A = this chain, B = another copy of it.
Amino acid sequence: MREVYQEQLGMLTDVLGSMSAMVGTAMERATKSLLEADLSLAEQVIDEDSLVDEARSRAEEYAFGLLALQAPVAGDLRSVIATIHAAEDMERMGDLALHVAKAARRRHPNAVLPDDVAAYFAEMGRIAVKLANQVSTVIKTQDIEAARLLDEVDDEMDDLHRHLFTVMMSPDWEHGVATAVDVTLLGRFYERFADHAVAVARRVEFIVTGKMPSR
């Protein structure tokens, strides 16, 4: 019984690992499409979001199978539920990459971002991809120390996000209100992407330690 449980949990974990890789790639491409006004790349992210949704359904099906056939209790039960939450977080990360790609498509062939904020988004994109990769590692290795590292990287994202507001609020801002609205929403998409990555890492920490980190 225990072996079957571990084997099935392993399959579930594999799906979660592939989801984090997918949403990392999606955000990498979405950022590139945004910075380079690359329509076909934006279209690709938009088309492939359904793959993330399918992976999420697959993860839930594995979890349902585990719950129905193994009827886990206590810590095992909480672990399975944590994987369901993690899959939901990652589906949302995929949606946020999709929103970025849609913004790039909406303004095409114009660039969404003026040059002086593009650098911020290049950096926010880099951090988002880094977080998604760290999530993959954490899911694969169940390394708690690695899970905790995500908080620091998320702090970098929050710093950048705050700076972005400073740039828009400055009297030197000369790109008008429409661009500020775009930048505000896009900034929020990256920040939320990072929040969900941290949430997934915490759920893995919970699965390993049995305690939800409170920090």
Contact = CB atoms under 8 A, between A and B. Distances in A.
Nearest to A84: B81
A185 interface: yes
Interface stretch (A34-42, A70-78, A111-119, A130-138): A70-78
A172 B148 CA distance: 48
Contacts of A185: 184, 188
Interface stretch (A9-17, A151-159, A173-181): A173-181
Q: For the complex formed by this chain, how many copies does it contain in all?
A: 2
Nearest to A89: B88
A68 B64 contact: no
A73 B71 CA distance: 9
Contacts of A64: 77-78, 81
Interface of A: 60, 63-64, 67-68, 71, 73-74, 77-78, 81, 84-85, 88, 165, 168-169, 173, 176-178, 180-181, 184-185, 188
Contact of A177 (B60, B77, B169, B188): B169
A177 B178 contact: no
Contacts of A60: 81
Please provide the 3 A-B residue pairs with the shortest distance between their CB atoms, ordered closest to farther.
A71-B71, A184-B184, A68-B73
A90 to B, nearest CB: 14
B68 A67 contact: no
10 contacts: A64-B78, A64-B81, A67-B77, A67-B81, A81-B84, A168-B177, A169-B181, A180-B180, A180-B181, A181-B181
Nearest to A164: B181
Contact of A88 (B74, B78, B88): B88
Given A77-B64, A81-B64, A81-B84, A168 B181 contact: yes
Contact of A178 (B63, B78, B169): B169
A71 B64 CA distance: 11
A177 B169 CA distance: 7
